[in-house]
Structure 1
Amino acid sequence: MSSHNRALTYSMAAALSAMGVLHFAKPKPFESIIPPQLPGSVRFYNFTSGAWEVVTGALLANPSTRPAGGLSALALLAAVWPANFYQAYRDLESGKASTGKKIYHAVRLPLQIPVMRYAWSLYAEKNAKRR
């Protein structure tokens, strides 16, 4: 792994871990974006995704568990995509979204695709070496 990729991977690990901790420390913002169509309590989804983020960050930070971390990050990002989409839809539909908020959503949702591809590459890189 190049130093650029190493920095990107450790940044991803730190960001996921920090966001995961925030799910517990400040749950309201995270719970507010959970689509109401999901069954069960928003607290369950919030704490589950927060714990998943912390574990994924730890997996990514350790070279020996990085492939599992990549796969976990890909699954996590796919799992939370509906909440991110719901947040964008809700903010834009309300008509009260600021220009900054509109730009944030316009950048954030598509940006998740290359992040997901990078997560997959962390998984696939190790498995390609085994063949």
Structure 2
Amino acid sequence: MSRSERSPLLLAGLLAVAGAAHFASPRPFDAIVPEALPGTPRAWTYASGAAELALAAGLALPRTRRGAALATAAFFAGVFPANVKMALDWRHRPTPQKAAAFARLPLQVPLVLWARGVAAGAEGRS
């Protein structure tokens, strides 16, 4: 299997693990849901976990890969406010935790680019 064939499956795996984590251990995700969102943090935690699982499934299937990859890029951009909230909330924590929270912010860029790359690769195979 070539690198370009593995990339969508690796991204799908990342999303599947993250999505499952939202259900297995929701409390840390609840804590980073921005207060401005309506409803309960738990509802947003479960909704985002379900979205990640659905995106993972879409990425795993060649027929739906391009659309799922574009939706994944949008999803990664959409959850950025949660990462900002986490960084702000954790700014007074010990240095390793603070560093991890702030490191998540620029990490969104390569995730969005990865998803767009998967979409572009799927487009070339259609």
Q: 1:129 to 1:62 in 2, by over 3 A?
A: closer
Partner of 1:88: 87
Q: Matched residues in 2 for 1:15 and 1:72: separation?
A: 15
Following superposition, the deviation at residue 127 of structure 1 comes to 3.6
Secondary structure of the structure 1 residue equivalent to 2:54: helix
The answer to whether the 8 A contact 2:66-2:118 is kept is: yes
Q: Matched residues in 1 for 2:81 and 2:7: separation?
A: 25
Partner of 2:109: 113
Question: Under a length normalisation based on structure 1, what TM-score does the superposition of the two structures give?
Answer: 0.85
Following superposition, the deviation at residue 128 of structure 1 comes to 5.5
Partner of 2:94: 98
Q: 1:78 to 1:37 in 2, by over 3 A?
A: same
Q: Matched residues in 2 for 1:36 and 1:106: separation?
A: 19
Question: Under a length normalisation based on structure 2, what TM-score does the superposition of the two structures give?
Answer: 0.87
Partner of 1:46: 45
Q: Matched residues in 1 for 2:32 and 2:100: separation?
A: 15
Whichever residue aligns with residue 7 of structure 2, its letter is L
Following superposition, the deviation at residue 129 of structure 1 comes to 6.2
Q: Matched residues in 2 for 1:124 and 1:48: separation?
A: 27
Q: 1:10 to 1:129 in 2, by over 3 A?
A: closer
Q: Matched residues in 2 for 1:116 and 1:18: separation?
A: 17
Q: How many residues align?
A: 126
Corresponding position: 1:122 with 2:121: no
The answer to whether the 8 A contact 2:76-2:108 is kept is: yes
Q: Please say which of residues 117-126 and 42-51 is displaced more in the overlay.
A: 117-126
Percent of residue pairs bearing the same amino acid type: 35
How big is each residue's C-alpha offset from its partner over 1:29-80, in whole Å with a ceiling of 9 and x where there is no partner?
1111101122211122111101000010111112222111211211211111
The answer to whether the 8 A contact 2:67-2:119 is kept is: yes
Q: Which runs of 5+ in 2 are unaligned?
A: none
